[in-house]
Structure 1
């Protein structure tokens, strides 16, 4: 999960597919320098050996559309290179976070993995010497021109894993991502309300849903990561892009600033007003998704990776996707950017084959495969337009609008090595009413302050 920018010929229109330049993200993390890329690891080649090869890849493409796309791309790669067999291991995001480091630390690690950006995962892997820098392959396959520097920077680290967005490149991303508000068009029509454009609209719409005895927002946080997205969407709609970007990258601000407390207060208020699924801490993400897909509520906050599943369950024109605009702002602001980086492990036995595989599943042809299976590619094919009135149209319209305005914000767990655990546990307690908004934001600031102090 992450942020991005686009300016290539394969991108849509003038903005290329995503101008998620996010100026705050262009700066290094607090206390960091800009070390030079590592020395060459030896010669690299696009030629894959003719011997039989098995490439093991680990991914988190478990949702319907992403899993189908990955399977399709893997088969196409094997057809192009008959001597190569792809052994796929697919795990949920939460499972990947808990098992991947152990897997790539072992004596027989996978060759290619999806590594989450930021300090908790990619930074830790780089620090442990578990990932191979891919600057040489980026040059060989022209990734440095296909992706702009602002996107590539999100997949870079200093060789000691201490400085994010500087130093060596450790992967490239396959998909684009936004987190937003899904809505059931039929339910909103019955309530007599339009799709929300602001947080105030969403709040008012949920109040009407509750009055009509309709669950306002389906929410399950048993898997922890949904809490990041709920807080991130509300925070972005209140604080705006610059403040959130500066906060995550340590440029300025505090997690206890009024806007961040207001976001926590808003969410806890929703829970107290029964706008959220009761007992959400014990409800899985999949169960919350199923409730929404079956028409059991008005809204759901989730990422664009749910597109294919919702299209299959609800139809392409019965569900919508909205991103929220902060008061007085010219464009929507939300979390997102790019999917997890595809990286080569340091012990990969066939690095050239691994790089060829990554290039194959992330290039312009792969982008069309992603679209055909209900996914949002990181770079949209030139001239692509989704059918009007469909969920795909809502998603791509939001993606390009936010790209043009440079108003995507990073996933909040990138902030420190321990921020994922602090934020997800804090959100469960906040929604359950076990902590106050001030205590919640205070715990975030304590985590970040300890991190920045240790780097000063």
Structure 2
């Protein structure tokens, strides 16, 4: 089995304060690469680049292959990796970047608490000069580039300057299905939300579980809600809310409609029995062992065996009105350059390589979902990955990527997760769930405005 790193809302539940609280002293400003000449010419002197990342196991093998190819292209540059688990990296990255002997490059999480704090505190470089030099400003879809943009003063997210670049690997939220279960019941793979609900009702009528789901863990319980939001609201509306545009109320993000759907499904008995007491890993196992037909999940978080790669599939459902494909999606990781790096040109060359076609092809070869490139060779023996790539390409065509909804505030994931639990228990309505999210958002905006 392959084990892939979970990103997005689930991962963002980890605390970041210890490593980042010291990153943004009052009056700090972002470090700017444009204040010095930048160059693509990284030949000549021998350089060692230190990289802090969280890629291990199969992901580590992918990263090793990328490093090997980069070093072959640039024989004077040696990459030295320091690899720890996700929590260790994110809890210490601010302090490590403050160290003159720290990493040249670090994987940096999205959002206010992580990348925003590091940018404002001058820990990571403003990459605008390199973006123009390498053409990232034209090559990266704006819905992807926006996820790593901040104003240098750290007051606005999703606009301003580029502070990190995506790796050529992505993570989405969408609908997984067990084709064996559907085939035995004579049901088609759903292509729309209406198709999905017909299938789910038929699965239930056959005495089986339609949706593998558990709501005991607040953070992981939200994937189903975030996936459904995208079927009701425009990518721009969701993006403007998450990026604190300030003009979009939460009720314009599809959250009320999504909450209405999941409450209806819970009441219909479509979830795993006793779902309120089911943990995240147990719900995953229910799905992987064929005990449910569907699961809304993050790509990369289900460890499919070689045999299961032929049995399971993935679909990005289109919007209810208009049929446009809009979905939560981001790079599997973002790479930032330390403002203390003595070799920023070499570091930028590595960032460019990590976003390049060779890295994307290597991702596919190692069983991971690529990003930024569509002209890749897809292994014929991995049907499941092929369905993910097809779904992602539909997002590419529509430029329909939306950011993870919980990036909107440091506490939104916990707030919405808790409200979902109360929604299922009949203690709040979909509108009250949205109101709680708006209150969280307003409180954060007020605090952010005060600095």
TM-score, structure 2 length as denominator? 0.79
Cα deviation digits, residues 237-292 of structure 1 (max 9, x gap): 23454543444344644224695223213223434444334565765544433332
Change (3 A) 1:312 1:285: farther
Distance 2:278 2:65 in 1: 31
Change (3 A) 1:90 1:218: farther
* Structure 2 counterpart of 1:296: 291
Cα deviation digits, residues 51-102 of structure 1 (max 9, x gap): 573513223x46x75443223223444555476242232434x665555445
Change (3 A) 1:114 1:421: farther
Q: Which runs of 5+ in 2 are unaligned?
A: 1-6, 9-28
* Structure 2 counterpart of 1:441: 434
Aligned with 1:310: secondary structure? coil
Q: Which runs of 5+ in 1 are unaligned?
A: 3-34
> Aligned to 2:304, which of 299, 310, 314?
310
Distance 1:224 1:349 in 2: 42
Aligned with 1:376: secondary structure? coil
Distance 2:135 2:99 in 1: 31
* Structure 1 counterpart of 2:26: none
* Structure 2 counterpart of 1:362: 355
Aligned with 1:40: secondary structure? helix
Change (3 A) 1:107 1:37: closer
* Structure 2 counterpart of 1:415: 408
Cα deviation digits, residues 111-144 of structure 1 (max 9, x gap): 3222233323211221222212222333443433
Tell me if structure 1 keeps the 8 A contact 2:149–2:159.
Answer: yes
Distance 1:376 1:121 in 2: 24
* Structure 2 counterpart of 1:158: 151
Deviates more, 1:358-367 or 1:236-245: 236-245
* Structure 1 counterpart of 2:265: 270
Distance 2:445 2:293 in 1: 41
Tell me if structure 1 keeps the 8 A contact 2:314–2:384.
Answer: yes
Q: Does 1:196 align with 2:190?
A: yes
Tell me if structure 2 keeps the 8 A contact 1:320–1:394.
Answer: yes
> Aligned to 2:53, which of 41, 51, 58?
58
Change (3 A) 1:355 1:297: same
Distance 1:182 1:354 in 2: 37
Distance 2:370 2:403 in 1: 18
> How far did residue 154 of structure 1 move?
2.9
Number of aligned pairs?
A: 419
* Structure 2 counterpart of 1:138: 131
Tell me if structure 2 keeps the 8 A contact 1:172–1:341.
Answer: yes
> How far did residue 183 of structure 1 move?
0.3
> How far did residue 365 of structure 1 move?
1.2
Tell me if structure 2 keeps the 8 A contact 1:55–1:87.
Answer: yes
> Aligned to 2:170, which of 176, 179, 192?
176
Change (3 A) 1:43 1:360: same
Higher relative contact order (CA 8 A, sep 6+): 1
Deviates more, 1:273-282 or 1:291-300: 273-282
Q: Does 1:379 align with 2:355?
A: no
Cα deviation digits, residues 314-365 of structure 1 (max 9, x gap): 02x3211112223332333321143332111233354334323322322111
Aligned with 1:138: secondary structure? helix
* Structure 1 counterpart of 2:21: none
Distance 2:206 2:377 in 1: 40
* Structure 1 counterpart of 2:23: none
Q: Does 1:227 align with 2:227?
A: no
Aligned with 1:237: secondary structure? coil
Distance 2:264 2:363 in 1: 38
Tell me if structure 2 keeps the 8 A contact 1:110–1:348.
Answer: yes
Change (3 A) 1:271 1:148: closer
Deviates more, 1:167-176 or 1:235-244: 235-244
* Structure 2 counterpart of 1:30: none
Distance 2:421 2:100 in 1: 37
Change (3 A) 1:334 1:148: closer
Distance 1:383 1:252 in 2: 40
Distance 1:83 1:440 in 2: 52
* Structure 2 counterpart of 1:32: none
Q: Does 1:116 align with 2:79?
A: no
* Structure 1 counterpart of 2:256: 261
Tell me if structure 2 keeps the 8 A contact 1:336–1:410.
Answer: yes
Tell me if structure 1 keeps the 8 A contact 2:165–2:336.
Answer: yes
Aligned with 1:238: secondary structure? coil
Tell me if structure 1 keeps the 8 A contact 2:43–2:76.
Answer: no
Deviates more, 1:387-396 or 1:225-234: 387-396
Distance 2:320 2:82 in 1: 45
Task: Report matched runs for 1:394-409 at 5 Å.
Answer: 394-409=387-402
Task: Report matched runs for 1:96-111 at 5 Å.
Answer: 97-101=90-94, 103-104=96-97, 109-111=102-104
Deviates more, 1:348-357 or 1:35-44: 35-44
> How far did residue 187 of structure 1 move?
0.4
Deviates more, 1:95-104 or 1:123-132: 95-104
